[in-house]
Copies of this chain bind each other. A is one copy, B any other.
Amino acid sequence: MTVNAELYAEVQQFYANQMRLLDNLKIEDYAATFTPDGWIEHAHRNERAEGRATMIAGMYAALPRYKGVVVRHWYDHLVIEPSDGDSLKVSYYTLVTRVDKEGHVVFEPTFTVDDVLVRINGVLHTKSRYIVKDTPTD
């Protein structure tokens, strides 16, 4: 099935804005791009933050890890599937860079992410985000 071009552009813009908030550590604004009951699960460390308040607390606790570096999340290969009602399943690849003061770039492992997006008053929000670290099977 071919995704509608308007929806494709809208989803891309949604993530472009959402990642700017995350990468610039606008923690509350980033959390507000999720539904109030939204959740993020890091499957590889069996960790799940449910609801905006929990997300925000977790991100503040993790801030020391980002001292002295600028993080950027790079997306690719979005597969967008309209799901029941007004919701969308979106799957994508993520590459994460960290650059320090001297301009040296290091990479986190690659990830594959599965989101569910829904609309609140017509505006896309993330309802759930399931993050899998790409790990060899053998």
| CB nearest neighbor in B for A124 | B2
- CB-CB under 8 A for A100 and B70, given A9-B3, A15-B77, A105-B109: no
Are B2 and A101 touching (Cβ within 8 A)?
no
Q: Is A134 an interface residue (CB 8 A)?
A: yes
- Selecting from A34-42, A50-58, A91-99, the interface stretch reads A91-99
- What is the oligomeric copy number? 3
Residues of chain B lying within 8 A (CB to CB) of residue A79: 13, 16-17, 20
In terms of DSSP, what is the predominant structure of the interface of chain A? mixed
Give the shortest distance, in Å, between A61 (CB) and chain B (any CB): 18
Contact-residue size bin, chain A (C-beta under 8 Å from the other chain): 35 or more
* CA gap between A37 and B20 in the complex, in Å: 30
Interface residues of A in 108-138 (CB under 8 A from B): 108-110, 133-136, 138
